[in-house]
Structure 1
Amino acid sequence: MIAPYIRPALPADSAALVAILHDTFESTWRPQLTPAAVTAYQQGNRPAAYVAERGHLFHVATRAGVVVGLVDWQDDFVHALHVHSAHARSGAGTALMDLAEAEIARAGFPAARLETDTFNTRSQAFYAARGYIEKDRYPDLEWNSGLTTLLLEKRLS
């Protein structure tokens, strides 16, 4: 498979970014959430609000001109890594994380940090293979669904 092309997000990417966030919500988060949390997500249109607030900071992975994934980081913290489920295991997530980690290191931070949840074993395996280790765990207050968040960290060289 051809490696994805990584570039800064453009204003024209907004609809694709929102669609990716909806897709990962449906495939990963929705099955874990209470009905009330799902309703709150749907009523709040959280993906559109997130893209409106931080989308100009994202980097995206594209294949044949189609946006298939995104990464968002600030300082040493990776806020989001999402790849559309149709492009999972295609190298897009790896390429996006390679960029984020390189930029975090270039900015002088000794480590990269991020969060995932205990139920998300697929993301845990991805990050473990990249050298991330668990530093803490605490209640996931974002979803109000009794989930547990893991704080992961990777030392950068």
Structure 2
Amino acid sequence: MILRPAEESDVPALVRLLRRSWLVTWAPELPFEAVQTFASFDPARLHAENQWRSFIVAIRDDVLIGMMQVEDDQIADLHVDPAFWNEGLARSYSTPPSGKPHAFITSCA
């Protein structure tokens, strides 16, 4: 797996990742109307298109499987493709090779 700064060419994959992460995490818990509002407003697209420069992405076999957004010294957003949940990806974001965490996770999906 490779961790690297996001590139503009990552935006379409980031949009898909953010949508999928949100829908799998939150849609089952919310009323159908809230899910419809999310789909029509499409905050995932807006977030990816406007914030990609502040993302670190995880790439495995040329596929974008995760992203995090760092603000100051904290991870503000952490999203992992649901197909890769429970594989330790989030740990690789927060623990560098030294073994000492370098960021504090404030929210994740």
TM (normalized to structure 2)? Answer: 0.84
Query: Percent of counterpart pairs with the same letter?
Result: 26
Higher relative contact order (CA closer than 8 Å, sequence separation 6+): 2
Measure, in 2, the Cα distance between the counterparts of 1:26 and 1:45: 11
Q: Which runs of 5+ in 1 are unaligned?
A: 105-111, 117-122, 124-157
Deviations 1:93-137 (A, max 9, x none): 2112235x52x4xxxxxxx35136xxxxxx7xxxxxxxxxxxxxx
Which residue does the alignment assign to 2:65? 68
Which residue does the alignment assign to 1:21? 18
Measure, in 2, the Cα distance between the counterparts of 1:21 and 1:113: 17
Give the number of aligned pairs: 105
Which residue does the alignment assign to 1:114? 106
Which residue does the alignment assign to 1:9? 6
The 4+ residue runs of structure 1 with deviation greater than 6 A are none
Which residue does the alignment assign to 1:58? 55
Measure, in 2, the Cα distance between the counterparts of 1:22 and 1:89: 19
Deviations 1:31-62 (A, max 9, x none): 11122221211111110100112111100111
Measure, in 2, the Cα distance between the counterparts of 1:15 and 1:98: 27
Which residue does the alignment assign to 1:137? none
RMSD between aligned residues: 1.8
Amino acid at match of 2:27: R
Measure, in 1, the Cα distance between the counterparts of 2:95 and 2:33: 36
Measure, in 1, the Cα distance between the counterparts of 2:39 and 2:45: 11
Which residue does the alignment assign to 2:87? 90
Higher CA-based Rg: 1
TM (normalized to structure 1)? Answer: 0.60
Measure, in 2, the Cα distance between the counterparts of 1:96 and 1:33: 29
Give 3-state SS (helix, strand or coil) of 1:115's partner: coil
